[in-house]
Amino acid sequence: MRIATWNVNSLSVRLPQVLEWLAANPVDVLGLQELKLTDDKFPHEALAEAGYQAVAFGQKTYNGVALLSRTELKDVVRANPQFADEQSRIIAGTVASPAGDIRVINCYFVNGQEPGSDKFAYKLRWLAGLDAYVKAELALHPRLVLVGDFNVAPEDRDSYDPDGLRETIHHTSEERNAFQALLNLGLSDAYRMFEQPEKSYSWWDYRMLGFQKNRGLRIDHILVSEALKGSVSACTIDRAPRKNKQPSDHTPVVVTLG
Partner DNA sequence: ATGGTGGCGCGGCCA
Q: Report the interface residues with DNA, using CB under 7 A.
A: 9-10, 12-13, 36-37, 60-62, 110-111, 113, 119, 205-208, 246
Q: Taking the CB of residue 15, how many other CB atoms lie within 10 A of it? A: 15
> Residues 12, 79: contact at Cβ < 8 Å?
no
Active site annotation includes 201: no
Active site annotation includes 108: yes
Active site annotation includes 44: no
Specify the 3-state DSSP secondary structure of 12. helix
Residue 249 in marked binding region: yes
Specify the 3-state DSSP secondary structure of 193. helix
Q: Which of 113, 214 has the CB closer to DNA?
A: 113
Residue 250 in marked binding region: yes
Least Cβ distance, residue 180 to DNA (angstroms): 22
- Secondary structure element (H or E) that encloses residue 103, with its range: strand 102-108
Q: Which of 89, 141 has the CB closer to DNA?
A: 89
Least Cβ distance, residue 130 to DNA (angstroms): 15
Least Cβ distance, residue 132 to DNA (angstroms): 21
Q: Which residues contact 169 (CB under 8 A, 6 or more apart)?
A: 111, 112, 113, 114, 115, 120, 175
- CA nearest 76: which of 57, 63, 51? 57
Instruction: Report how far residue 227's alpha carbon sits from residue 246's, in angstroms, rounded to the nearest whole number.
Output: 39
> Residues 130, 89: contact at Cβ < 8 Å?
no
Least Cβ distance, residue 159 to DNA (angstroms): 15
Residue 34 in marked binding region: yes
Among 28, 133, 149, 221, the one annotated catalytic:
149
Q: Which residues are annotated as a binding site for Mg(2+)?
A: 7, 34, 149, 151, 249-250
Q: Which residues are annotated as a binding site?
A: 7, 34, 149, 151, 249-250
Catalytic residues: 108, 149, 250
